[in-house]
Amino acid sequence: MQLQRIGLVGYGEVGKVFSSGLKDKPGVTAAGAWDLKFAQGEQAAAERAHAAQAQVQAHASMQSLCESSDFVISAVTASNTLAVAREAARFLRPGTVFLDLNSASPGTKQQAAAAVDAAGGHYVEAGVMTSVPPYGIRVPMLLGGARAGELAQLLTGWGLDAKAVSEELGVASAIKMCRSIMIKGLEALVIESYTTAREYGVEDHVLPTLAETFPSIDWPQQGAYFFSRVVQHGKRRAEEMRESANTVREAGFEPLMTASIADKQQWVTDQAAAGVFQGVAKDARWQDYADRLIAARKA
């Protein structure tokens, strides 16, 4: 497998990391991206300037990106996974490898694969197993699909941490989504527990008991990290949890817990959009976030 022209659909946090990180890999001759933000007013100028500085071509449309690429990477929000795959399928060059990084259910990934494969492309699903920023393009990924093994070999040759887990589509995403239920569920539980404890003034009693039960975790530090990530990326997390709920449904179970996690993540997102956390530093203590939620409730 030889891939020379890389195209990122989605120029957000993940798209920026992958487009700039892959453009200088052996054999790569071009890297481009397409995002709706490239055409939206003042934001468009800033996003295009960022791409230019990173030496990434900002394409004017999905069609332009796909017609210029033999390796298309989809890095959009979970709710747009299927729509992006279907739109890209209209313009893919035959033989194009389409790597789907998005956090979506096995059923959604299978539908996306059907669209891409029908257009003559090669769909590979990816389960991105942790947050991208600390790792960059070396973030651990599990790949699935008929071409997963070939692509994993290419990516590992480029220094990425990619492992093919199955030729069957849906396996990699099932692993990812089941893990996400736990991780995003912990975030939701910590925010609810810590804020309630703060309101009652009992956090100095609650957190030490957590440390006794799980001594390997720094609960204040972990709490601060969970708060900050949900405040910054709650919308994306809520969408991922809705896809996780679909994963549970596809398995034949009612997603009682997972749906509630999505609701909690969305609630924090709504608070952030209302300005509740305005001025709170990213490295703030968990108490600073909790105090803002308490103050907003009492306002």
DSSP the chain: ----EEEEE--SHHHHHHHHHHTTSTT--EEEEE-GGGGSHHHHHHHHHHHHHTT-EE-SSHHHHHHT-SEEEE---GGGHHHHHHHHHTTPPTT-EEEE-S---HHHHHHHHHHHHHTT-EEEEEEE-S-STTTGGG--EEEESTTHHHHHHHHHHTT--EEEEESSTTHHHHHHHHHHHHHHHHHHHHHHHHHHHHHHT-HHHHHHHHHHHSTTS-HHHHHHHHHHHHHHHHHHHHHHHHHHHHHHHHTT---HHHHHHHHHHHHHHHHHHTTTTTT--TT--HHHHHHHHHHHHH-
Percent of the chain residues past pLDDT 90, beyond the cut: 94
Tens-place pLDDT, residues 134-181:
899 999 999 999 999 999 999 999 999 999 999 999 999 999 999 999
- Return the pLDDT at 299: 83
Q: Which two tokens stand for residue 230?
A: 């949900």
Percent of the chain residues past pLDDT 70, beyond the cut: 100
| pLDDT, average across residues 50-77 | 96
User: In the predicted model, what is the mean pLDDT of the chain?
Assistant: 96
**Which of these ranges, 22-31, 36-45, 71-80, 106-115, has the smallest mean pLDDT?**
36-45
Residue 91 backbone phi and psi in degrees, to 5: -125, 0
Tens-place pLDDT, residues 282-296:
899 999 999 999 999
- Return the pLDDT at 150: 97
Q: Domain 5-167, CATH 3.40.50.1820 — does that match?
A: no
On the question of pLDDT at 133 being above 80, the answer is yes
Domain ranges of the chain: 5-167, 173-298
- Return the pLDDT at 142: 98
- Return the pLDDT at 149: 97
- Return the pLDDT at 39: 85
- How do strand 122-128 and strand 141-144 relate by DSSP bridges? antiparallel
Tens-place pLDDT, residues 213-268:
999 999 999 999 999 999 999 999 999 999 999 999 999 999 999 999 999 999 99
Q: Domain 173-298, CATH 3.40.50.10470 — does that match?
A: no
More confident: 4 or 1: 4
